[in-house]
Structure 1
Amino acid sequence: MSQENLFGYIPNKTIIHNLSGSTKLISFILLSLIVMTSFDTRFLVTMTIFSLILFYIARIPWRNIKVLIYFVLVFSILNLLTIYIFEPEYGVQLYNSRTVLFEGIGRYTITTEQLFYEFNVAIKYFTTIPLALIFIFTTDPSEFASSLNRIGVSYRISYAVSLALRYIPDIQDSFFEIRQAQQARGLEMSRKTSLMKQITRSAQIIMPLIFSSLNRIETISQAMELRRFGKNKSRTWYRYKPFTKKDFIALALIIIITVIGVLLFFVNDGRFYNPF
């Protein structure tokens, strides 16, 4: 299976790839927190454009992410529909205004305020998802582990996270190999068959893969224990990348963006921007 089909770190020489893992981790945490907290539409739209520009700079191949993007789209639509079903006038309560666009049945009317609120929720996904993909596809797992350790996380936990990230491409690789073998035996799993059959047959492959992965984890943990992993209080990292001038500039930019997002709370007297 070609590496470009795998969901995980892809080596490259972009500006984002060259940043320290610690810089990317801190930036991802700060931007995700401020985006998920804020409901200022102006800020969220700006952040969406910013994250898409970063995504373009990172040069992540579409083939690697298209399935995830489709899943996020479906999830987003379902989430927005669920919000409307359970709270069709939540936006009216938030913005203390009610502008009816279409009359519905009972309380199920379409209001400008509700659409505005759900629009804010939707663009949160399309801001944070590119940031998460950038972090996953541009950060070497070993460097990520050293970054976690650098910000105070135990190196034992950091190493466990590194191993988990390394398993994602391995499991995906095994999944595609098994699926191709099944199709060679006449079990259709492509788009030529129905969606339900694709899901069912994929699940029949994924479940054994999960259990086999647990056995592999047990083997690795025993090997690490035999090598006395975790005996010392600290360790050195082969993939450790020190801070450079680019890292400080990137962190300064992220901190400025975060501060602007926080200041908007005071400007708006809360998290919500109310144009009504």
Structure 2
Amino acid sequence: MLIARYAVQRLRSKETIHVAKAVLGYVDRPGFLHRLTGTAKLILVGALVLAAMLTFDARLLLALSALSMVLWAVSRIKLSDLKVVLLIILTFMLLNNLLIFVFAPRYGVSLFGTEHIIVAGPGRWVLTWEQLFYQALVTLKYFAVLPGVLLFIATTPPPEFAASLNSLGVPYRFAYSVSLALRYIPDVQRDYETISIAQQARGLDASRKAPLGERAKNLLAVLMPLLFGSLDRIETTSAAMELRGFGSRKKRTWWSARPLRLGDWLIILASIAIVGVAIWLQYVNGGRFWNPFV
């Protein structure tokens, strides 16, 4: 009785751990991108990824980055909706740039064939405009690709995500597994919050107020029930799908599939144009790089 009363008090107090937004998943805030079919958005994402892989031309990467920013602006997706993922990406991007300079500080010089020194550091760690330009290109690739990928996930419901994958030739078993994974992310996060509150009601504090060692020990008491609960949910879902004959046929229909409209065809044509420009620049530049130092 005392435990239940304490749990209720924690839920009502300001120190309560509120159920947070999903770390990565569909955001139900209808906008321009929400109205497009998943197939058109998936083709656009594929075009952005392929174009960024094909070229290191700064002009195209800047254009693709600007396009990603425009798409984000019209999508009605807030930065706070994907705050955790964006922070992880930003950390990885900064770490990647740092490691590139530490292990290959003169790679830009070898690529562009010239050397314009900005700061003469100790040993081989010399900061040059060529190296700075190369690392700016690497950073532009993040801005050209990742916003589009995140927007596709945030503006496409998981069932439509699976239908779009299947419409492009992906086997429906794999497409449906991707849909289930995205659908379970909010469920797992919600279970974590519930188990964490229950364990705190039992006196196991896993919050920032507890010492690091104690927090790590108490965190195991949260993760183990979460792990076993997730495995039990997977088994239940697998049994339910098997009982309904999932996978018994080579093809299936999708309730969430939508026909392509004018806006979708325009997005598909723009995607083809993006890849076409990336291929054309290969011939214009004589390779993947555009050299502004010549």
Q: TM-score, normalised by structure 2?
A: 0.85
Does structure 1 residue 106 correspond to structure 2 residue 123?
yes
Does structure 1 residue 136 correspond to structure 2 residue 165?
no
Aligned to 2:85: 68
Deviation at 1:226, TM superposition (A): 1.6
Quick one: which of 204, 207, 214 aligns to 1:189? 207
Further displaced range: 241-250 or 228-237 = 228-237
Aligned to 2:260: 243
When residues 95 and 202 of structure 1 are mapped into structure 2, their CA distance, relative to the original with a 3 A threshold, is: farther
Q: Is the 8 A contact 2:196 2:206 kept in 1?
A: no
When residues 33 and 179 of structure 1 are mapped into structure 2, their CA distance, relative to the original with a 3 A threshold, is: farther
Q: Which residue identity is paired with 1:116?
A: F
Further displaced range: 244-253 or 256-265 = 256-265
SS at match of 1:98: coil
Quick one: which of 87, 92, 98 aligns to 2:109? 92
Q: Is the 8 A contact 1:25 1:135 kept in 2?
A: yes
Within-5 A mapping of 1:136-175: 136-175=153-192
Deviation at 1:201, TM superposition (A): 7.3
Deviation at 1:186, TM superposition (A): 6.8
Q: Is the 8 A contact 2:29 2:77 kept in 1?
A: no
Aligned to 1:23: 40
Within-5 A mapping of 1:2-21: 4-21=21-38
SS at match of 2:126: strand
SS at match of 1:122: helix
Quick one: which of 229, 245, 251 aligns to 1:212? 229
Q: Distance in 2 between matches of 1:183 and 1:126?
A: 40
When residues 270 and 145 of structure 1 are mapped into structure 2, their CA distance, relative to the original with a 3 A threshold, is: same
Further displaced range: 108-117 or 172-181 = 172-181
Deviation at 1:18, TM superposition (A): 0.8
Q: Distance in 1 between matches of 2:149 and 2:79?
A: 15
Deviation at 1:23, TM superposition (A): 0.8
SS at match of 2:121: strand
Further displaced range: 239-248 or 205-214 = 205-214
Deviation at 1:274, TM superposition (A): 0.6
Identical amino acids, percent of aligned pairs: 42
Q: TM-score, normalised by structure 1?
A: 0.90
Runs of 4+, deviation exceeding 6 Å: 196-199
Q: Distance in 1 between matches of 2:129 and 2:177?
A: 47
Further displaced range: 223-232 or 203-212 = 203-212
Aligned to 2:15: none
When residues 211 and 37 of structure 1 are mapped into structure 2, their CA distance, relative to the original with a 3 A threshold, is: farther
Q: Deviations for 1:30-78, whole angstroms, at most 9, x for unmatched residues? A: 1111123321111111111110110111111322211211111111111
Quick one: which of 249, 255, 263 aligns to 1:232? 249
Q: Show structure 1 runs of 5+ residues with no match.
A: none
Deviation at 1:7, TM superposition (A): 2.5
